[in-house]
Amino acid sequence: MFLQLKKRKTSTKKFAGAKRRQVFSPLRQVCSQPSWRMVLHTNEVFSNQRKFTEKLAILIVRGNVACAVPMIILAGLMFFLKRRSPQYIYITWSDKNDWIAFMAFFIFETLTKAINISQFFLSQTWFLFAVAYLIIGISTVSTFLDHLPRQISYFRCLFLLNQAHNRCYPVTMLPVRFLFYFEFLIISAFVLIRLFTQINTTERAIMTELFFAFIISSFLVLHISGKMFKDSESLKWKLFQRAASLAGWEGKIWRKTAKSLQSFGVRVGSIRCISYAALSAFYITTTSVLTTVLVTFTDH
């Protein structure tokens, strides 16, 4: 019985490996073609796309660094000014004049905040890079003056890359991240509007930094996700139009092939891919909830 289970497990692993090779073999074949490499290195359109990619990458990195570094500095400054606040462990230390203990707690608080904030923005940067890479690939394929079969092969390769990217992180990651954006936007906006006169300058700076950091982050993530779905849908329709212009039995085959292509995008939970509608829905919901909170909790 043990040998049967072992053989069954081995056969299952072999089947899974063969299935993965079958799924990703078109991607390897297309990327290994000399024409694909030649296009990547010599095509003027791709050269322009590469310049745009570099600028976009620099913008994404600088934007996330500009959000993360001030937040880390303000978090350390907040502990330095309000070390006896109930949210810090230092409040349990009885000796207020012990500077060694204070520095130990200060390093601990600053280091933990720096790790958490850096991890958050680093994962966000990686996500934006991955999605931007696919968007640039879509725009590059759509500008190729190449024959239709190769364009369809490139589209399928981008589809496979998107599927691999969606499987790189848990299904609940993006819903939790959007909930995180939503909560901190509501909290920071409420504090800045209702409690502005009751907090000090450092706390105002932290709330302002949180508000702008998360409103920019949520806009970038939702906008770039919606753009990938829109661009893939446009490229799919463009390929179908090119196939429809072909005559004869060959045109009929390529029309069916182009019609079978699926648009792709960023998966959020059980939603296969999100569109630009998610961007407006997110900010409409945030504004509505913020208005309700402000009306419910007034100054009086």
Q: Could you state, in order of their start, the residue ranges of all structural domains in the chain?
A: 30-296
User: pTM of this prediction?
Assistant: 0.76
Angle of CA points 110, 111, 112, to nearest 5°: 95
Question: What integer pLDDT is reported at residue 2 of this predicted model?
Answer: 39
Nearest to 216, CA basis, from 123, 292, 121: 121
Question: What integer pLDDT is reported at residue 35 of this predicted model?
Answer: 45
Question: What integer pLDDT is reported at residue 49 of this predicted model?
Answer: 60
Compute the distance between CA of residue 247 and CA of residue 231 in angstroms, rounded to an integer: 27
Burial code of 174-204, b = ≥16 C-beta within 10 A, e = fewer?
beebbeebbebbbbbbebbeeeeeeeeeebe
| Token duo for residue 129 | 């890079």
Question: What integer pLDDT is reported at residue 186 of this predicted model?
Answer: 94
Compute the distance between CA of residue 269 and CA of residue 173 in angstroms, rounded to an integer: 8
Compute the distance between CA of residue 163 and CA of residue 263 in angstroms, rounded to an integer: 11
Compute the distance between CA of residue 80 and CA of residue 105 in angstroms, rounded to an integer: 10
| Token duo for residue 47 | 């050269």
Compute the distance between CA of residue 77 and CA of residue 230 in angstroms, rounded to an integer: 43
Question: What integer pLDDT is reported at residue 145 of this predicted model?
Answer: 58
Give pLDDT < 70 ranges for the chain: 1-53, 94, 145-146, 299-300
